[in-house]
């Protein structure tokens, strides 16, 4: 029994471990302004990329980091057509950003109603239960506009009863480790 509890505890703790990577020798206190790129998303869910971008903007602003207007950044990206992280960084620098956050939505399942029917012992439907479930999985990376290096990468997913809460939850779980990194550097 003790071995089982140990294994269960280990499995739980390891599943809570972060999925992020961070460049440790970078001075994160230099990041005061961020440009947030359009998040790539699958066909049929293009607007999800803009919503995720807005949720990330909210996270940065709440944590004292200025966010460059997305229309300014998007215009520079469309004119520059970046082919490398270094070119991308130069465009971000032109926009006035210290770093760029970009990423993708690699899973997007809007809420759908699911019904579960229960039958009584005589085979008749006794009652039904319905619930809604939405899932969002995102990956994000932070790029220095000074060096063009990727400073931080994270990915995670979130499930909720509706798509808005699933998106907001996914952004929050991805952003949380970055928030701690930025907070330590103030």
pTM for the full model? 0.78
**Which residues of the chain are modeled with pLDDT < 70?**
1-18, 43-44, 83, 126-127, 129-131, 185-186
What is residue 11's predicted lDDT score, i.e. its pLDDT? 37
- Map tokens 């969002």 to a residue: 136
CB crowding 66-96: b at 16 or more within 10 Å, else e: ebbebeebeebbeeeebeebeebbbbbbebe
Give the DSSP H or E segment for 33.
Answer: strand 33-36
| Number of Cβ atoms within 10 Å of the Cβ of 167 | 22
What is residue 18's predicted lDDT score, i.e. its pLDDT? 53
What is residue 5's predicted lDDT score, i.e. its pLDDT? 36
What is residue 127's predicted lDDT score, i.e. its pLDDT? 65
The DSSP 8-state label assigned to residue 136 in this structure reads E
The architecture CATH gives domain 19-184: 3-Layer(aba) Sandwich (3.40)
């Amino acid at each position: 029994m003790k071995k089982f509890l140990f294994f269960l505890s280990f499995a739980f703790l390891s599943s809570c471990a972060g999925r992020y990577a961070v460049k440790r020798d970078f001075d994160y206190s230099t990041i005061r302004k961020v440009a947030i790129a359009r998040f790539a998303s699958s066909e049929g869910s293009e607007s999800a990329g803009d919503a995720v971008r807005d949720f990330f903007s909210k996270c940065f602003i709440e944590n004292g980091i200025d966010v460059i207007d997305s229309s300014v950044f998007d215009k520079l990206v469309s004119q520059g057509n970046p082919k490398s992280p270094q070119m991308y960084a130069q465009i971000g620098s032109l926009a006035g950003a210290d770093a760029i956050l970009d990423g993708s939505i690699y899973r997007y399942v809007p809420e759908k109603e699911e019904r579960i029917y229960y039958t009584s012992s005589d085979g008749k439907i006794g009652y039904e239960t319905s619930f809604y479930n939405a899932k969002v999985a995102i990956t994000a990376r932070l790029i220095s506009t000074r060096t063009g290096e990727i400073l931080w990468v994270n990915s995670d997913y979130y499930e909720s009863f509706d798509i808005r809460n699933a998106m907001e939850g996914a952004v929050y779980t991805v952003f949380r480790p970055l928030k701690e990194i930025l907070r330590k550097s103030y």
